[in-house]
Amino acid sequence: MNADYVIVGAGSAGCAMAYRLAQAGKRVLVIEHGGTDAGPFIQMPAALSYPMNMSMYDWGYKTLPEPHLDNRRLVCPRGKVIGGSSSINGMVYVRGHAGDYDHWEDSGAAGWGYADVLPYFKRQEHWHDSGQGGDPDWRGKDGPLHVSRGPRTNPLHAAFVEAGRQAGYPVTSDYNGQQQEGFGPMDMTVYKGQRWSAANAYLKPALKRENCELIRAFARKVVIEGGRAVGVEVERGGKIEVIRANAEVILAASSLNSPKLLMLSGIGPAAHLAEHGIEVIADRPGVGQNLQDHLEVYVQYACKKPITLYKYWNLIGKGLIGAQWLFTKTGLGASNQFESAGFIRSRAGIKYPDIQYHFLPIAVRYDGQASAEGHGFQAHTGPMRAESRGEVTLASSDPRAAPNIFFNYMSEEQDWIDFRQCLRLTREIFEQDAMKPFVKHEIQPGNALQTDDELDSFIREHAESAYHPCGTCRLGAVDDPKSVVDPECRVIGVDNLRVADSSIFPRITNGNLNGPSIMTGEKASDHILGRGMLAPANDEPWFNPNWETSQR
């Protein structure tokens, strides 16, 4: 079996590349270990807590014990299904801040500044104006990825945004437009009431072409001959075979599996590969390093009024929502319920936001456990740019073994300072007059916890991953020993091999990673095709003019 391009992983970036390469007339073969995304658990937006807790759709990874979080092993869901993690995520759509990409460029990712990536964000998007404001000139109008907004009919959404305003923060009608900083409506990858994953947006249209094929197989390693990638060794139906690539092999297997595959193929830190008896083809010490994530907590409040989604948190309520969605694709089932957002700066001297809020009109955990208090609401929040760094390493040379995942969360003192500040700023927002008709009392952390030590104890016990791992195959300058891929996503030291997914991010972006991961696939496609890049944008993003002297 062979194709011009063999892509490993039908996730956010892999689907985008399959679409663009096939559109350009190339013969594309996509290898995906997971199966179909059919059925309401994935396609119904409100059911988002189900697929990420189902072994059928999730790789089931956990971290090693995290020493700064009471040695807890945190769950680390990654999509094992077409669409990858875009088929099991919360569907929140955030491009990231302009400052993120300018930082990438400053750290060696030439051609990945904000002016360079904005045209690709526009190319991927089909933004739906919901009449809630926005920056149409900053948004794409006809891309494959439909981006919409929830109805925001629950009064708690308006109260949350107004509380942010009363606390002295800006209001923004479009955090994906000119101004990220502030409070306002949240974007989601939902179209006509259905999850609009990378599979729905990109892969399924690509597969309608004769020159694009998907095979279900487990990728074991990249086959490298004479310093050049020539194919991928896979296992399917109990047999091991090689799928040949006439032009290139492209890894888009996630920030956990892409570095694992590189190491199994002999590309990585030489001493670590030698430990596992793997022949070193390219000594790249950066492979698996630079692992980053967003850590978050749920700040929860009991609600005075019975207006939260808790009233549907029973078999009858869920049944009615599910039935309405199945027959009409409308109602509460058609939204992820993350319909309002906030991005703020934690202190003066921070140039752009480093705290994010997802607001949810129910007090509930990702595993679907509602608060014992009944009616409540919550903000998911945490610092956006932690200084802690972890690593992905091989547990064994057996391709079937899960990688060792160690984020080393909260290993830097500044991360504790930032997280405490985040909790205190959040409480202040919920103390504003706009929230007074609704706030009964704080469920968690709980008013009793006030000192640094008390808040630290709460963080150690309750912080969870926001499921945004990235950074393990860092994109950078060729002469930087920590770089894994060059600015065209080519693996340094091996020909005809690229990596394009969230693993190449030099530093984590502000907000959820699905949007930037798809952008990476879009931009990488043009590098692969060698056809020249989209012209850089001239749009001037907004930075708070007083950022040096004021926190808000």
Same domain, residue pair 325 and 448:
yes
Average pLDDT over residues 281-287: 98
Q: Is residue 218 a contact partner of residue 123, using CB atoms and an 8 Å limit?
A: no
Same domain, residue pair 142 and 155:
no
Q: For residue 236, what pLDDT is reported?
A: 96
Task: Specify the amino acid at residue 329.
Answer: K
Average pLDDT score, the chain? 97
Q: Is residue 236 part of a domain?
A: yes
Q: Is residue 552 part of a domain?
A: no
Inform me whether the pLDDT recorded for 368 exceeds 90. no
Give every CB contact of residue 402 below 8 A, 6+ residues apart in sequence. Answer: 59, 60, 61, 395
Average pLDDT over residues 258-280: 98
Q: For residue 372, what pLDDT is reported?
A: 77
Do you find a cis peptide bond into 445, omega within 30 degrees of 0?
Answer: yes
Radius of gyration of the chain, Cα coordinates, nearest whole angstrom: 22
Q: Residue 365's pLDDT band (boundaries 50, 70, 90)?
A: confident
**What are the φ/ψ torsions at residue 214 (nearest 5 degrees)?**
-115, 130
Q: Which residues of 354-380 are buried (b: 16+ CB within 10 A; e: fewer)?
A: bbbbbbbbbbbebeeebbebebbbbbb
pLDDT tens-digit profile of 516-542? 999 999 999 999 999 899 999 999 999
Count of structural domains within the chain: 2
Q: Is residue 389 part of a domain?
A: no
Inform me whether the pLDDT recorded for 353 exceeds 80. yes
Q: Is residue 123 part of a domain?
A: yes
Same domain, residue pair 280 and 417:
no
Angle at which helix 413-430 crosses helix 155-166, to 10 degrees, equals 110
Q: Which two tokens stand for residue 460?
A: 């150690």
Inform me whether the pLDDT recorded for 370 exceeds 90. no
The share of the chain scoring above pLDDT 70, in percent, equals 100
pLDDT tens-digit profile of 132-164? 999 999 999 999 999 999 999 999 999 999 999
Q: How many CB atoms lie within 10 A of CB 467?
A: 21
Same domain, residue pair 485 and 422:
no
Give every CB contact of residue 451 below 8 A, 6+ residues apart in sequence. Answer: none
Same domain, residue pair 85 and 202:
yes
Exposure of 305 in the CB half-sphere (CA atoms within 13 A):
10
Same domain, residue pair 174 and 273:
no
Q: Is residue 401 part of a domain?
A: no
**CB neighbour class for 88 (10 Å; exposed up to 12, middle 13-18, buried from 19):** buried
Q: Residue 321's pLDDT band (boundaries 50, 70, 90)?
A: very high
DSSP string spanning 114-130?
Answer: HHHHHHHHHHHEEE---
In 3D space, the residue among 297, 313, 365 whose CA is nearest the CA of residue 90 turns out to be 365
Average pLDDT over residues 410-417: 98
CATH number at residue 159: 3.30.410.40
Q: Which residues of 182-193 are buried (b: 16+ CB within 10 A; e: fewer)?
A: bbbbbbbbbbeb
What DSSP state is assigned to residue 194? E
Average pLDDT over residues 546-550: 98
pLDDT tens-digit profile of 217-248? 999 999 999 999 999 999 999 999 999 999 99
Same domain, residue pair 116 and 218:
yes
Q: Is residue 346 part of a domain?
A: yes
Give every CB contact of residue 517 below 8 A, 6+ residues apart in sequence. Answer: 11, 12, 13, 86, 501, 502
**CB neighbour class for 142 (10 Å; exposed up to 12, middle 13-18, buried from 19):** exposed
- The residues facing 495 across adjacent strands are 228
Q: Is residue 20 part of a domain?
A: yes
Same domain, residue pair 314 and 437:
yes
- The residues facing 301 across adjacent strands are 377, 442
Same domain, residue pair 112 and 201:
yes
Same domain, residue pair 133 and 237:
yes
- Compute CA distances 356 → 14, 166, 344, 411, 419, whole Å: 27, 18, 7, 21, 12
Q: For residue 179, what pLDDT is reported?
A: 98
Inform me whether the pLDDT recorded for 369 exceeds 90. no
Among 294, 380, 468, 527, the active-site one is: 468
At residue 524, the 3 state secondary structure works out as helix
Residue 441 designated active-site: no
Whole-number Å distance between alpha carbons of 362 and 129? 26
Same domain, residue pair 379 and 524:
no
Q: Is residue 41 a contact partner of residue 35, using CB atoms and an 8 Å limit?
A: no
Q: Is residue 496 part of a domain?
A: yes
Whole-number Å distance between alpha carbons of 248 and 524? 13
CATH number at residue 13: 3.50.50.60
**Interior angle at CA 436, CA 430 and CA 440, nearest 5:** 85
The domain in which residue 500 lies consists of 1-63+75-146+191-287+472-532
Same domain, residue pair 263 and 336:
no
- The residues facing 188 across adjacent strands are 92, 148
Q: Residue 373's pLDDT band (boundaries 50, 70, 90)?
A: confident
In 3D space, the residue among 423, 435, 384 whose CA is nearest the CA of residue 96 turns out to be 384
Whole-number Å distance between alpha carbons of 51 and 89? 8
Q: Residue 49's pLDDT band (boundaries 50, 70, 90)?
A: confident
pLDDT tens-digit profile of 455-485? 999 999 999 999 999 999 999 999 999 999 9
